[in-house]
Amino acid sequence: MTFPEIGADYCVGSAILPPNPSGINRDNRPFMALLPILRYPDDRLHTVARKVEEVDATVRKLAADMAETMYAAPGIGLAATQVDQHRQVIVIDVSEDKSQLLTLINPEILERSGECEGEEGCLSVPGIYETVTRSAAVRVRALNLDGQPFELAAEGLLAVCIQHEMDHLQGKVFVEYLSRLKQTRIKSKLAKQARITA
């Protein structure tokens, strides 16, 4: 997920996070690889991600590479589906100074409340920002990088970002909430961009 180019009110609130939820220390980290991000309408973005059976070194390396890719893009969220790794792993950091990296493995939404409307962008749909309606607050259960379960309550932008990235794990891209006409226009615009940059 990316920030919209124009300001949007996401009913931004607070989040209750577990201690050091990501398990990644960005100030003392090994070299990470930047991963290629799939572009909409690539069919692989519609692959439903499978659950992670064991949080091992391979999964931790994937999460670290995803985080580095997200920061470099730059973005505020990335799902494994977007880098053609179809496992239930997402990374998020909505902080202004990029100091609150959150990794969610096998995330599931336990509760939803309220409604919030705002513009969303996506690293797989570059340059496109559209209004989407989401739950304003969510409570989520997931595994951390040690394979331990935790829960968090999130509101505003963090809640939106969690829902956006979890959609990717189900094979859904945010533009698919829009009308077929808008989706067609977006595909045409992205195809034109691809021709220009080719």
Residue 96 designated active-site:
no
Residues in the chain: 198
Residues ≥6 apart with Cβ < 8 Å to 126: 39, 190, 193
Phi/psi of residue 150, each to 5°?
Answer: -150, 165
- Check if the beta carbon of residue 64 is closer than 8 Å to that of residue 32: yes
- Check if the beta carbon of residue 165 is closer than 8 Å to that of residue 90: yes
Could you say which DSSP state residue 96 is in? T
Catalytic residue among 68, 120, 155, 165: 165
Active site residues: 165
